Structure 1
Amino acid sequence: MPQKQHNSGQSDESRRLRLGVELELIAGQLRSLARAQDRLHELYEAVLGRDVGLSVVLQLIVDTAMELVSARYGALGVLNENGEYLAQFIPVGLSEQERADLAEVELPRGRGLLGHLIAVPESLRVDDIAAHPDSAGFPPGHPPMRTLLGAAISTRGKIYGDLYVAERHDGRPFDAHDEALIVALAGAAGLAIDDARLYQQTRLDAEHFQRLLLPRLPDLQPFDAAAAYRTASTPDHIGGDWYDALLVPDHACAAVIDAAQPRNDHTHPVPAGSTVIFFTDGLFEHPARPIETGLERLANLVTEHAALPLQDLVQALADHHPSDGHDDMAILALRVPRTRCSSG
Structure 2
Amino acid sequence: MAHTPWQPPPGALDRRRLRHLLDALVAVSADMDTRTVLHRIVEAATVLVAARYGALGVLSENGKVADLITVGIDDPRLCAAMGLPQGHGLLHTLVDDRESLRVADVAGHPRSVGFPSGHPVMQTLMGVPIMVRGTVYGDLYVADKTDGTPFDDDDEDLLTALASAAAVSIENTRLYEHLKHAAEHFQRRMLPTLPDLSPLQAAVRYEPASELPRLGGDWYDGMVLPDGATCVVVGDVTGHDIEAAPVMGQIRNMLRALAFDRCEPPGQVMSRLDRALTMFEDPPTATLVLGRIEHGEDGAYTFSWSNAGHLPPLLVGPDGSTRYLAPARHGIPVGIDPTVSRFSHDHPLPRGSTLLMFTDGLVERRDQDIDTGLGDLAEQAARLADAPLDDLCDALIGRRQQVFDDDVSLLVLRTPDGSAR
How would you bin the TM-score normalised by the shorter chain? 0.7 to 0.9
Question: What is the letter of the counterpart of residue 318 of structure 1?
Answer: I
Q: What is the aligned partner in structure 2 of residue 179 from structure 1?
A: 156
Distance 1:255 1:61, change over 3 A: farther
What SS is found at the alignment partner of 1:130? coil
Q: What is the aligned partner in structure 1 of residue 44 from structure 2?
A: 64
Q: Deviations over 1:88-120 (max 9, x none)?
A: 222221132xx5456544422223320221122
Q: What is the aligned partner in structure 1 of residue 241 from structure 2?
A: none
Q: In 1, distance between residues paired with 2:384 and 2:305?
A: 23
Distance 1:101 1:241, change over 3 A: closer
Pick one of 94, 100, 114 that aligns with 2:91. 114
Q: Deviations over 1:140-164 (max 9, x none)?
A: 3222211222110111101111011
Q: What is the aligned partner in structure 2 of residue 289 from structure 1?
A: 368
What SS is found at the alignment partner of 1:129? coil
Q: What is the aligned partner in structure 2 of residue 246 from structure 1?
A: 223
Pick one of 46, 66, 71 that aligns with 1:87. 66
Q: In 1, distance between residues paired with 2:39 and 2:107?
A: 27
Q: In 2, distance between residues paired with 1:103 and 1:265?
A: 62
Deviation of residue 75 (structure 1)?
0.9
Deviation of residue 242 (structure 1)?
0.5
Pick one of 137, 140, 156 that aligns with 1:163. 140
Q: In 2, distance between residues paired with 1:225 and 1:139?
A: 54
Q: What is the aligned partner in structure 1 of residue 281 from structure 2?
A: none
Counterparts of residues 6-45 of structure 1 (less than 5 Å) = 25=10, 28-45=13-30
Distance 1:145 1:132, change over 3 A: same
Question: What is the letter of the counterpart of residue 101 of structure 2?
Answer: L
Counterparts of residues 1-344 of structure 1 (less than 5 Å) = 25=10, 28-46=13-31, 51-52=32-33, 54-83=34-63, 85-96=64-75, 100=77, 103-136=80-113, 138-247=115-224, 249=227, 251=229, 252=294, 253-259=303-309, 260=332, 266-321=345-400, 324-338=403-417
Gapped regions of structure 1 (runs ≥ 5): 1-20, 340-344
Deviation of residue 208 (structure 1)?
1.7
Aligned partners of 1:65 and 1:165 also within 8 Å: yes
Gapped regions of structure 2 (runs ≥ 5): 1-6, 230-293, 295-302, 310-331, 334-339
Q: Deviations over 1:148-204 (max 9, x none)?
A: 221101111011110111122233322322222211111111111111122112222
Question: What is the letter of the counterpart of residue 187 of structure 1?
Answer: S
Deviation of residue 122 (structure 1)?
2.2
What SS is found at the alignment partner of 2:416? coil
Deviation of residue 307 (structure 1)?
1.5
Q: In 1, distance between residues paired with 2:403 and 2:82?
A: 38
CA RMSD, 1 decimal? 2.8
Structure with greater proportional strand content: 2
What SS is found at the alignment partner of 2:193? coil
Deviation of residue 264 (structure 1)?
7.0
Distance 1:255 1:60, change over 3 A: farther
Distance 1:138 1:237, change over 3 A: closer
Select the structure with the greater relative contact order (CA < 8 A; seq sep ≥ 6): 1
Q: Deviations over 1:280-321 (max 9, x none)?
A: 111121112222222222222212322112233223222333
Aligned partners of 2:139 and 2:163 also within 8 Å: yes
Deviation of residue 86 (structure 1)?
1.4
Aligned residues: 310
Q: In 2, distance between residues paired with 1:74 and 1:303?
A: 53
Give the TM-score normalised by structure 2: 0.66
Structure with greater proportional helix content: 1
Deviation of residue 24 (structure 1)?
5.1
Distance 1:148 1:80, change over 3 A: same
